[in-house]
Amino acid sequence: MRKLLYIGISALMLTACQQKEVKNEQAAVADEAVYESFGAAITDDQASPVAQLTAMAGDSIYTKVRGTIVDVCQAKGCWMKLDLGNNETMRVTFKDYGFFVPKNAKGREVVIEGVALKSLTPVEELQHYAKDAGKTADEIAAITAPVQELSFEAVGVLMR
């Protein structure tokens, strides 16, 4: 009888431990971000908030950042803009025009890896981007001066 009691208690303890392991595994999977990947394979580890690039020293830096998409090229998904905060955005293009992102990605969180650049964007390029964004002819014609801006050439994108 005593042996039977020990077997029963052991079985209960084993079941409880197994249930705890399953719950721990489920919690770990829930915490792990699920991403779609575009371009080169990258990871989300050590990605800084994109807003930190506004204090970037120098003209360019290879880095990995995370942010939220506020606009996407409506022609092909060949560029996107990330929110930098303070009503500022950063245009992200893709290395060698080698991949695109979904045109309906506005509002999604991303991790991008590549080169952040401070550069002068010419009028023709700004007008092209405005056309891709679906701006009116009057809005496009109103672009008459180049803009000094922060941009990013991504080698890879992870999209939540």
**Phi/psi at 143 (nearest 5 deg)?**
-85, 110
Residue, of 33 and 123, whose pLDDT is higher: 123
pLDDT on residue 134 = 87
23 and 56 housed in the same domain? no
Residue 15 has pLDDT above 90, yes or no: no
Question: What pLDDT, on the 0 to 100 scale, is given for residue 28?
Answer: 44
Q: What whole-number distance in Å separates Cα of residue 30 and Cα of residue 19?
A: 17
CB 127 within 8 A of CB 143: yes
**CATH number for 86:** 2.40.50
DSSP state of 107: T
Residue 114 and residue 46 in one domain: yes
106 and 141 belong to one structural domain: yes
57, HSE (Cβ side, Cα atoms, 13 Å): 0
Region of poorest pLDDT, from 7-21, 41-55, 74-88, 103-117: 7-21
**What pTM was estimated for this model as a whole?**
0.74
Q: Is the pLDDT of residue 60 over 90?
A: yes
If asked whether residues 118 and 59 sit together in one domain, one would say: yes
Across the range 28-51, mean pLDDT stands at 85
Place of tokens 């952040």: 116
Query: Do both 28 and 40 map to the same domain?
Result: no
pLDDT at 30: 45
Tokens of residue 37, six digits: 């990947």
43 and 25 both lie in a single domain: no
Return the structure tokens found at 56.
Answer: 């970037």
Residue 30 region, left (φ>0) first, then alpha (ψ -120 to 50), else beta?
alpha
Read off the pLDDT band of 21 (50, 70, 90): low
In degrees to the nearest 10, what's the CA dihedral of 65, 68, 71, 74?
A: 80
When divided into structural domains, the chain yields a total of 2
Could you tell me what percentage of the chain is helix, strand and coil, using 3-state DSSP and rounding each to the nearest 5? Answer: 35, 35, 30
Check whether 20 has a pLDDT greater than 60. Answer: no
Backbone angles phi and psi of 134, in degrees to 5 = 85, 20
R_g of the chain, CA atoms, integer Å: 24
Specify whether 12 is located in the same domain as 44: no
Domain range for 77 is 36-159
User: Do 49 and 120 reside in the same domain of the chain?
Assistant: yes
Closest to 82 measured CA to CA, from 62, 60, 112: 112
Residues 84, 137 within the same domain: yes
If one compares 9 and 49, the residue with the highest pLDDT of the two is 49
Q: What is the pLDDT of residues 66-115, one digit of tens each?
A: 999 999 999 999 999 999 998 999 999 999 999 999 999 999 999 999 99
130, 72: one domain:
yes
